[in-house]
């Protein structure tokens, strides 16, 4: 006996509808995306009862012909792809041709559409896949699609809908995702006759502040990066505006909102030592990627995306965010031109790197008074902090120094001055420092009054030195070696950490199972507190490893920095204060301590008496 049936279209569409439209918000998404694909510059969204009774989208896009208006409700009816190859070059939001078919299977739909060249449009009424009527009508150019009584024939789904307030907030979220990244378009959004949003086309920053409020403008830093693999444009929160919950986190790829835990982690990782634990940044980031390098087809609602270059993307996104945070925290406070010279593009496959050659001038005689012609080699000056400028800039920088040595003193450009200020500690503010309450260092800078928190600043300095593993070169031998002792379990862990500690500048040997002898430390670290520093470090290391919030290296450096930084209450000498300020300005991220505390602020003269 034969038992296999081919399901009628109406049933097949209802089943498919379950995937595409599971709640009113997903129908809203499909309609908004269709309007954008139709090239609309104005889109109206109208909902009643959180979309249960009505979802209507009216656009001024290209509209449809009479026959397309009928065809669009067929399954796999799409104007967006023609052949399988097109799947690898998708620039539209839709392409599967199932949304309207699915929606028509589970609602009463009224479509009015007119192409701009036609005088008359078409109106179609369709209900549960049955076309009830089709006739000519006069209507504005573009398309209006109204979905009435969603799930009228699928009571199970209807009963699963949540309270109106919940469904409306889902719709609102979808609306925000679409409107945020398609910021050139005008939108209005009415719910039960009330205007919720009235947005005018503008740029990304304007759209963010239209949706989330004007205060966002002051809360965000721009992120901008252009590589062969990805173009990144967007905004991330300043570290001081992070929140305890994941708030506004919007990641878009090719104008499409996506969820991608790994890429989100890349952004969050850039904040690792800038913000307190379990705090989260907001971000609005748009990545533009060659469509053939992504697969958006893996989920029907298309918020998940697979990238071919995921690892590279991760690294680029993290570096770009970090760069924005580092550069702008300094830039806004010190008002210097950021150096946009980081080239993140990984080498193409098959590229064989060449060993760099060192240019030097064999005829160079440092005692000659005339400046030599060839550029000196880069090793004459090594800056461990800040973005390394490109060769040409180094060259001109050195030329500048040489010339000034030869007493011709040309006027340096602002970038060169900044480089000079930032890479040599001696050039930090020469103005005297004052200590306030044995906690703050106050000094005068060209841009205002500088106030530095001595502990937080020192923590930042030590942290970066440890991270950059500079200390190994200048470990300081102790006059009297110090013994440290741990419980057997801790001693095992400590033993594992010895290679790391050695890199930071500690020299430690073991005597027996649980006792260690420290013979040298990094210069910033006082020998009297070594046992406490290591005890704390072990506690923090163990708990960090359990929570997996940081990597081992970061965690050790953070802990050591926190416990060795000069304490609040310590009296500092003039020279010490000046050195501390100078060292702080050599840091990559000078404005925050690794534990997320502000290290300094500059009060501008106009704000002094406010
Ligand atoms: P897809 O968007 O995946 O192509 P849909 O079912 O959403 O599938 O839409 C089917 C087709 O109907 C689209 O390809 C498009 O040609 C047409 N269409 C849908 N909505 C609109 C609209 N607002 N304006 C113009 N054409 C539209
Ligand atoms: Mg569509």
How many Å apart are CA 457 and CA 583, to the nearest integer?
9
Residue showing tokens 């570290």: 239
Tens of pLDDT, residue by residue over 154-177, are 887 888 888 888 899 899 999 999
Please, are residues 34 and 99 in contact by the beta-carbon 8 Å criterion?
yes
Number of C-beta neighbours around residue 303 at 10 A: 15
**CA of 38 relative to ligand 2 center, distance in Å:** 10
Give the pLDDT of residue 539: 83
Pocket of ligand 1 (CB under 6 A): 30, 34-35, 37-38, 59, 61-64, 72, 77-80, 94-101, 143
Out of 33, 44, 78, mutate this one to test ligand 1's pocket (max ligand atoms within 8 Å of CB): namely 78
Ligand 1 atom closest to Cα of 145? 23
**CA of 72 relative to ligand 1 center, distance in Å:** 6
Highest mean pLDDT among 18-27, 252-261, 387-396, 414-423: 252-261
Cα 85-91-97 angle, rounded to 5 deg: 70
**CA of 77 relative to ligand 2 center, distance in Å:** 10
Please, are residues 142 and 96 in contact by the beta-carbon 8 Å criterion?
no
Find all residues with CB under 8 Å of 367, minimum gap 6, and list them.
Answer: none
Give the pLDDT of residue 379: 33
Secondary-structure breakdown of the chain: helix, strand, coil percentages, each rounded to the nearest 5: 40, 20, 40
**CA of 595 relative to ligand 2 center, distance in Å:** 47
Local confidence band at 417 (pLDDT 50, 70, 90 cut-offs): very low
- Full 3-state SS string of 370-412: CCCCCCCCHHHCCCCCCCCCCHHHHHHHHHHHHHHHCCCCCCC
Note the ligand closest to the C-alpha atom of 13: 1
Q: How many CA atoms lie within 13 A of 373 on its CB side?
A: 2
Note the ligand closest to the C-alpha atom of 72: 1
Tens of pLDDT, residue by residue over 106-124, are 999 999 999 999 999 999 9
Out of 37, 70, 102, mutate this one to test ligand 1's pocket (max ligand atoms within 8 Å of CB): namely 37
Name which residue sits closest to atom 18 of ligand 1, judged by CA: 34
Tens of pLDDT, residue by residue over 213-223, are 887 888 899 99
- Full 3-state SS string of 466-501: HHCCCHHHHCEEEEEEEEEECCHHHHHHHHHHHHHH
Give the pLDDT of residue 351: 52
**Worst-scoring range by mean pLDDT, 91-105, 183-197, 293-307, 512-526?**
293-307
**CA of 36 relative to ligand 1 center, distance in Å:** 10
Out of 70, 75, 100, 139, mutate this one to test ligand 1's pocket (max ligand atoms within 8 Å of CB): namely 100
Beta bridge partners of 250: 284
Tens of pLDDT, residue by residue over 450-468, are 999 999 999 999 888 888 7
Beta bridge partners of 237: 220
Q: How many helices (H) and strands (E) does the chain have?
A: 17, 22
Q: What is the DSSP string of 176-189?
A: HHHHHHSTTSEEEE
Residue showing tokens 């953070």: 558
């Amino acid at each position: 006996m034969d038992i296999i049936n081919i399901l009628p279209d109406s049933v097949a569409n209802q089943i498919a509808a379950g995937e595409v439209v599971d709640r009113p918000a997903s129908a809203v998404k499909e309609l908004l995306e269709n309007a954008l694909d139709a090239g609309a510059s104005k889109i109206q969204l109208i909902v009643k009862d959180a979309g249960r009774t009505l979802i209507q989208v009216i656009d001024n896009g290209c509209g449809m012909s009479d026959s397309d208006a009928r065809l669009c409700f067929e399954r796999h009816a799409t104007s967006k792809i023609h052949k399988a190859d097109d799947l690898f070059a998708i620039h539209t939001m839709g392409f599967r041709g199932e949304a309207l078919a699915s929606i028509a299977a589970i609602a009463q739909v009224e479509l009015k559409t007119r192409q701009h060249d036609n005088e008359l449009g078409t109106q179609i009424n369709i209900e549960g896949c049955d076309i009830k009527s089709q006739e000519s009508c006069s209507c504005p150019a573009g398309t209006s699609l109204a979905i009435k009584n969603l799930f009228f024939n699928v009571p199970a789904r209807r009963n699963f809908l949540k309270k109106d307030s919940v469904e409306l907030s889902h719709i609102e979220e979808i609306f925000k995702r679409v409107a945020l990244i398609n910021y050139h378009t005008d939108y209005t959004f009415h719910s039960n006759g009330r205007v919720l949003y009235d947005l005018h086309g503008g740029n990304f920053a304007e759209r963010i502040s239209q949706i989330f409020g004007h205060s966002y403008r002051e809360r965000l830093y721009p992120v901008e990066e252009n590589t062969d693999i990805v173009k990144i444009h967007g905004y991330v929160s300043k570290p001081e505006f992070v929140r305890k919950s994941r708030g506004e986190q919007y990641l878009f790829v090719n104008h499409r909102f996506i969820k991608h835990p790994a890429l989100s982690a890349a952004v969050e990782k850039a904040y690792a030592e800038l913000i307190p634990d379990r705090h989260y940044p907001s971000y609005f980031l748009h990545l533009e990627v060659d469509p053939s390098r992504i697969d958006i087809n893996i989920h029907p609602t298309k918020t998940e995306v697979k990238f071919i270059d995921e690892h590279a993307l991760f690294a680029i996104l993290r570096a770009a965010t970090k760069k924005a945070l580092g550069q702008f925290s300094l830039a806004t406070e010190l008002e210097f031109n950021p150096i946009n010279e980081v080239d993140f593009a990984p080498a193409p496959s098959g590229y064989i790197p060449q060993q760099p050659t060192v240019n030097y001038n064999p005829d160079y005689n440092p005692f000659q008074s005339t400046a030599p012609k060839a550029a000196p080699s880069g090793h004459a000056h090594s800056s461990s902090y800040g973005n390394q400028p490109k060769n040409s800039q180094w060259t001109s920088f050195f030329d500048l120094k040489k010339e000034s040595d030869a007493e011709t003193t040309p006027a340096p450009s602002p970038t060169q001055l900044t480089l000079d200020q930032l890479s040599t500690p001696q050039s930090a503010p020469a103005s005297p420092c004052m200590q306030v309450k044995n906690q703050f260092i106050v000094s005068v800078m060209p841009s205002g009054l500088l106030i530095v928190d001595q502990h937080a600043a020192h923590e930042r300095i030590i942290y970066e030195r440890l991270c950059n593993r500079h200390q190994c070169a200048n470990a300081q031998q102790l006059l009297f070696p110090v013994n440290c002792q741990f419980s057997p379990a801790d001693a095992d862990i400590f033993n594992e950490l010895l290679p790391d500690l050695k890199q930071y500048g500690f020299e430690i040997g073991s005597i027996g199972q649980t006792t260690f002898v420290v013979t040298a430390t990094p210069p910033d670290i006082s020998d009297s507190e070594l046992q406490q520093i290591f005890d704390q470090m072990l506690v923090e290391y163990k708990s960090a490893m359990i929570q997996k919030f940081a990597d081992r290296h970061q965690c050790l450096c953070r802990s050591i920095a926190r416990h060795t930084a000069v304490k609040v209450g310590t009296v500092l000498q003039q020279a010490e204060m000046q050195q501390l300020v100078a060292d702080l300005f050599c840091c990559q991220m000078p404005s925050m301590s690794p534990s997320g505390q502000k290290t300094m602020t500059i009060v501008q003269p106009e704000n002094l008496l406010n």
